[in-house]
Amino acid sequence: MQNNLFLFLILIVFVATTSCNKKQSSTPVKTTLTTEILKDKIKGGWAGQVIGCTFGGPTEFQYKGTLIQDYQPIPWNNGRCKWYYENSPGLYDDVYMDLTFVDVFEKEGLDAPASSHANAFANAEYMLWHANQAARYNILNGITPPQSGHWLNNPHADDIDFQIEADFAGLMSPGMVNTSTDICDKVGHIMNYGDGWYGGVYVAAMYSLAFVSNDVNYIVTEALKSIPQESEFYKCMSDVIGWKKEFPTDWKRNWFECERKWSSDIGCPDGVFNSFNIDAKINAAYIIIGLLYGEGDFGKTMEISTRCGQDSDCNPASAGGILGTMLGYSTIPEYWRAPVYPVENMDFKYTTMSLNDVYELGYKHAIAVLEKNGATINGDAVEIPFQEIVPAKLEVCFEGHFPIERNHVGKQLNSINKESEFEFEGNGFVLTGNAQKLNRDLPEGVLEFEVYVDEQKVEQIKMPTIYTTRRHEVAWKYNLPEGKHQVKLKLLNPQEGYEVRADHLLVYSSVKPANAWKTN
C-alpha cells in the first residue's frame, strides 16, 4: 500500500512538472503583465540595444569571414557608452534610425502611412549606406515604397538594413507578432525586400515574444513562424536552430557550418566576390547563435554574437535588445547596465530624443498598440491576447540571377570623355562607382547621364556629388535575356572639375555555375 502511494505521488509530481515546463516553453492564451514590468521590459529592450552596439563597435567589419578569437580582448568599462556618444555618435545608427520611425508615429499616430516614414527617413541629416542609401536616393528621385526597397530598384535589397532598424516594431507590439509584422510591412519595404525584409520581421517577432516568454529557445524558434518556410532566410535560421541541437555546447562549430553553407552573398555589390558580408541572413544567424548559446546570460550572449564577426555591432545590438526585453532593464547585470547611466539623458545624434525619452515614448506607443489590438488594461494589469502567428508573404530577391564575374572597369565620364561603353554576357549587371568633384573647393554638383542597353535607353540618371544624397551604384539592370549585351553611358551635362567614375562591373547569369555554392 505504501509503495503504491509513493508511486502515485511520484506520478503527480511528474505530471505537474511536465505541465509547468510546457507552460514555460509556450505562450499561453493570454499573458498578464503589470505596467511596471511592461515598462521595465521596454527599457531593457532599448538599453540592451545600446549596450550591444557599444560593445561591438570596435570590431565592426574588422573580422570578415573569420571568428574574433577568444584571446582578442573586447574592452568594456563604465565610460564606453559616453565615449562613443561624444566621439563617434554615428555608431548608434541602429538606434537613431529606429527613432526616425518612432518620431513619425508620435507625430502622426499609429496609422501614419509609409510615405510619412519614407519622407522622414529620406530627408534626415544622417549618412546612410547600402539598402538605406539606395532607398533614400530612390525616394528623393520619385521611386516610393514599396518599390524603393524592391531588388529591381535596389541592389542592396537583401542587406541587413531593416534588420537593424526593426527593434521599434517589436518593442511597440508586446506579445503580438502579427501586429509587429504589419508594422514591418509598412516601414521595412522602404529599404528592403525578400530576405532583407525578413531579417526585420524576424528580429521584431523575437522582441515581441520576449515580452511573454522567458525561454530564449522558444523565442528564437517561435518567432521563425513569422517567416515563410520556402524562403532562404527561414532555411538558414532553421539550420542554425538544428545545429544547436547537434552541437549543443559548441557555438563555433555552428558558426562554421553556417559560414560553409550560407555565407555566399549574391546581392550586395560590395559583398559579391568579397569576404565582406552585410547580407541579412548570415548576420541574423549570428544574432541567434548568440541568443541560443548565450542561454539567457547577457554577457555570454554579447560575447558570442560579437565574436561571430562581420556586422559585429549591429548583431549584438539586436541580441542585446531582445534579451534585454526578456530580462527587463532591472535584471540586466549591473556590469553591463552601468555604462548606460551617463548617457540616458543625452540626445542621440540627429535627434532630439534621449534614452529616457525613448523609454517613455516606447511605453506610450506599446500601450496604444495593445489597446488597438484587443489587449485589456485594468489599473496596473495589462492582459495581452495571444496571436496565432501567420507567416509573412513570400518574397524572393535576385531569383534566377547568379554572379559570375567581377571586373575592374576604371572609366570616367567627364568634360573630355562624355561617353563610355562596355560589353558583358549574362542576364544582368551592376556597375559600381560614384560622382565626384575633383577639387574640394568646388561646390557640390549633380551629373546627369543616360544609360542604354543594346541601343535602348533604359534610364536617365542624376548623380549628386554630395554624400548624403548620392546614388550608391552608377547603374544596374536585371532580368535581361541571357546572352551578350552592350551598355553605353552618355553624359548629358559635362562640367569641368566633375566626373562619374565607373569602378567595377558585376555580371550575373541565369545559369548557375556548376561548382557554385556546394555544401557537401
Query: Residue 421 maps to which CATH number?
Result: 2.60.120.260
Cis peptide before 146 (omega within 30 of 0): yes
Residue 262: what pLDDT? 97
Distances (CA, A) of 258 to 61, 240, 255, 293, 367: 18, 7, 5, 14, 38
**Residue range(s) defining the domain that contains residue 134:** 28-385
Please report which helix (H) or strand (E) contains residue 368, including its range.
helix 355-372
The segments of the chain whose pLDDT lies below 50 read 1-25, 27, 517-520
Residue 15: what pLDDT? 34
Distance CA 430, CA 483 (A): 16
Residue 274: what pLDDT? 94
Residue 282: what pLDDT? 97
pTM of the model: 0.93
Distance CA 264, CA 275 (A): 9
Q: Which amino acid is at 265?
A: D
Residue 513: what pLDDT? 87
| Contacts by residues 108-115 (CB-CB < 8 Å, ≥ 24 positions apart) | 110/365, 110/368, 110/369, 110/372, 113/186, 114/144, 114/145, 114/146, 114/186, 114/187, 114/189, 114/190, 115/144, 115/145
Residues 226 and 352 in one domain: yes
Residue 479 lies in a domain: yes
Cβ contact 77:70 at 8 Å: no
Residues 326 and 365 in one domain: yes
Rg, the chain, Cα only: 24
Residue 231: what pLDDT? 98
Distance CA 132, CA 119 (A): 13
CATH code where residue 67 lies: 1.10.4080.10
Cβ contact 200:180 at 8 Å: no
Distance CA 391, CA 372 (A): 21
Cβ contact 218:26 at 8 Å: yes
Residues 245 and 108 in one domain: yes
Residues 319 and 232 in one domain: yes
Query: Among 263, 220, 257, 253, which residue's Cα sits nearest to residue 239?
Result: 257
Residue 187 lies in a domain: yes
Burial (CB < 10 A; 0-12, 13-18, 19+), residue 334, is exposed
Residues 142 and 177 in one domain: yes
